[in-house]
């Protein structure tokens, strides 16, 4: 059974395509890395998966999952660290689908939040403002929020970028836990060693598919060189798609 199917999907911004004619599928319960050079379209693809972007053409099938039910972690740069909220309340936002946007947080919900914080190693940080957190602590907090969403499909955009080795290892344990629970996990990554050690399947993207399948067969020198050349050759001034 497929968690995601892409049928000749083209995605982009202001009528300029950033991902071209992608076709393929991701099986339910798969653990898949999405890799490629800077500007390859990884974040664009993820925004299409979670419904932030509508394809210019083609179709994304989510196996009956409502986009609002996807657990999505955007890149750290997209998160407003100046927002006046503490760690506990930020994590508790992961319960909004169950409790409602304005639902109360009772004893049971508080216990669930506390367990999630303990799981990611942030016990004692509940009252800290999110702006005071280090990069690694911020990612731990965001993974705690993902835990509470209890989603079948989890999409992580550069989740291990600019964090310490210990935090990376701890969060990878959570990724493997989700995989063991038969959840579908996609992660955009740039560290090929992390990909090779932890992700059985990989999509190599360079604005279009370069290779897709078993990681050992995708991350070859020839494929990586091809991806670099394809991105370098892309014309930023290419004509926009027809309106």
Task: For residue range 27-57, list pLDDT tens digits in order.
Answer: 999 999 999 999 999 999 999 999 999 999 9
Instruction: Say whether both 155 and 183 belong to one domain.
Output: yes
Instruction: Say whether both 117 and 164 belong to one domain.
Output: no
Q: Which residues, 6+ apart, have CB-to-CB distance to 180 below 8 Å?
A: none
Instruction: Say whether both 198 and 236 belong to one domain.
Output: yes
Q: Is 101 within a domain?
A: yes
**Helix, coil or strand: residue 6:** strand
How far apart are alpha carbons 2 and 194 in whole angstroms?
A: 25
Q: Is 75 within a domain?
A: no
Backbone dihedral angles phi then psi of residue 67, each to the nearest 5 degrees:
-55, -30
Instruction: Say whether both 119 and 223 belong to one domain.
Output: no
Backbone dihedral angles phi then psi of residue 154, each to the nearest 5 degrees:
-120, 125
How far apart are alpha carbons 72 and 81 in whole angstroms?
A: 17
For the chain, state the CA radius of gyration: 18
pLDDT band of 239, cuts 50, 70, 90: very low
Model's pTM, two decimal places? 0.91
How far apart are alpha carbons 243 and 241 in whole angstroms?
A: 6
Q: Give 148-200 pLDDT, tens digit per residue.
A: 999 999 999 999 998 999 999 999 999 999 999 999 999 999 999 999 999 99
Domain count, the chain: 2
Instruction: Spell 46-65 as b/e; 16+ CB within 10 A means b.
Output: bbbbbeebebbebebebbeb
Q: Give 51-75 pLDDT, tens digit per residue.
A: 999 999 999 999 889 988 899 999 8
Instruction: Say whether both 100 and 16 belong to one domain.
Output: no
What is the CATH classification number for the domain harbouring 11? 3.40.50.300
In which domain, by residue range, is 22 found?
1-70+151-243
Instruction: Say whether both 165 and 243 belong to one domain.
Output: yes
Q: Is 76 within a domain?
A: no
């Amino acid at each position: 059974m497929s968690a995601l199917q892409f049928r000749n999907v083209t995605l982009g911004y202001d009528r300029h395509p950033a991902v071209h004619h992608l076709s393929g599928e991701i099986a339910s319960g798969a653990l898949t890395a999405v890799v490629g050079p800077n500007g390859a379209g990884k974040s664009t693809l993820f925004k299409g998966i979670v419904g932030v972007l509508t394809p210019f053409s083609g179709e994304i099938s989510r196996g009956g999952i409502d986009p609002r039910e996807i657990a999505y972690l955007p890149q750290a740069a997209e998160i407003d660290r100046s927002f006046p909220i503490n760690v506990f309340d930020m994590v508790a936002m992961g319960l909004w689908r169950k409790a409602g946007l304005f639902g109360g947080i009772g004893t049971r919900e508080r216990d669930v939040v506390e367990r999630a914080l303990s799981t990611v190693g942030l016990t004692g940080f509940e009252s800290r403002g999110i702006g005071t957190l280090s990069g690694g602590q911020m990612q731990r907090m965001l993974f705690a929020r993902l835990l509470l969403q209890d989603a079948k499909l989890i999409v992580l955009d550069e989740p291990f970028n600019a964090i310490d080795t210990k935090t990376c290892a701890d969060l990878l344990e959570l990724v493997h836990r989700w995989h063991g629970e038969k959840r579908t996990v996609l992660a955009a990554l740039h560290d090929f060693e992390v990909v090779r050690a932890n992700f059985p399947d990989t999509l190599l993207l360079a604005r279009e598919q370069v290779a897709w399948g078993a990681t050992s067969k995708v991350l070859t020198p020839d494929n990586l060189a091809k991806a670099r050349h394809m991105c370098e050759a892309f014309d930023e001034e290419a004509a926009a798609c027809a309106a």
